[in-house]
A and B are shown apart, each in its own frame.
Chain A
Amino acid sequence: MATREELSEFLAGVERRAFKQAVFAVRDESHALDIVQDAMMKIAEHYGDRPAAELPLLFTRILQNATHDFFRRSKVRSTWVTLFSALNPDAEPDADPLETLEASGDTRTESTETSYEREQIVAIIEEEVAKLPARQREAFLLRYWEDFDTAEAAAAMGCSEGSVKTHCSRATHALAKALRERGITL
């Protein structure tokens, strides 16, 4: 059973990422706040007695449900999101954008960037992550931001591990291509 300290530590650690992920999904900071608030309340009220190790997966599912609920309630998906979903091709006929990124040379740019430039780059990356189709974005963020392995991500998303890998790889390719087009070298 998670102690109050364990639940507190978990929520404190996850709240910023959860907020950002909600913003990527719903494109509105105040709705995103509501969603995270709801998710925190739900996990505390309904699952506060589960072992601490179960909290990450539980919270992710609750957060995702809350986000999907939000769309269902508002009935209209953001046209912005739909447009870009349509434009993101699944197949990549041209060169692997990841290879192109590596070829563009010096990848250790942090030391030469100013903090302002870094902020700009971060903002662009966030924009492009937000434009990813929902399932691709979810899989990518669960693997690379939440550190879930494929099995955990599959459990969180309610799909097969194979699907997770596919979504993830498509997300990576789409992101890499988009960043290359915007002149970002990671």
Chain B
Amino acid sequence: MNQDEFGFRVRQALNDGAERLDYRTVLRLEQARRQALGRQRRAGPATVRLPALQLATAGAPPIDSGGGAWGWLRGAGLVAPLLALAVGFVAISHWQEELEIQRLAALDFAVLLDEGPLEAYADQGFGVLLQAEQRADR
């Protein structure tokens, strides 16, 4: 066997090892990746302003023309920040839901790749056996 072939075989083993990573590690790597992507450096102009903010601040009517419920808010110059807050909260809520979906996807991915029988995993009774093993371990 020459060096390249040896290297190739070792590579296969290393790839196997990389594929068998603990699902918790895989999940954390994924989270790290998404965080990093959020900070990707881009050549060019800075971040786009939120449309809601633009709508709220652009063409804001003068104080005394404000009417109805929002009139006094506009007068106090608070529509824009409140709208931004609302948009922000909606964004956080979507983001949290997105995180949860990613978490479940990583978990299900691990369950599917695992060798343990699915019918066992899906059975609450199996959980009893697992808990017994947990107690035996302590």
A residues within 8 Å of B by Cβ? 1, 4, 7-8, 11-12, 15-17, 19-20, 29, 33, 36-37, 40-41, 43-49, 98-99, 101-102, 107, 115, 118-119, 121-123, 125-126, 129, 140-141, 143-145, 168-169, 172, 175-176, 186
Secondary structure at the A interface, as helix, strand, loop or mixed, is helix
Chain A hits for B16, CB < 8 A: 118, 122
Tell me whether A101 and B37 are in contact in the complex, defined as CB-CB below 8 angstroms, given that A16-B21, A33-B28 are known contacts. Answer: no
A36 to B42, CA, bound (A): 21
5 A-B pairs with the lowest CB-CB distances in the bound complex, closest first: A144-B7, A48-B40, A40-B36, A48-B41, A44-B36
A11 touches B11 (CB 8 A): no
Question: Interface residues of B, CB < 8 Å — how many?
Answer: 34
Name the residue of chain B whose CB is nearest to the CB of A171.
Answer: B7
Chain B hits for A126, CB < 8 A: 13-14, 17
Expressed in whole angstroms, the minimum distance between the Cβ of A11 and any Cβ of chain B is 5
A8 to B35, CA, bound (A): 11
B33 touches A98 (CB 8 A): no
B58 at the interface (CB under 8 A from A): no
B94 at the interface (CB under 8 A from A): no
B119 at the interface (CB under 8 A from A): no
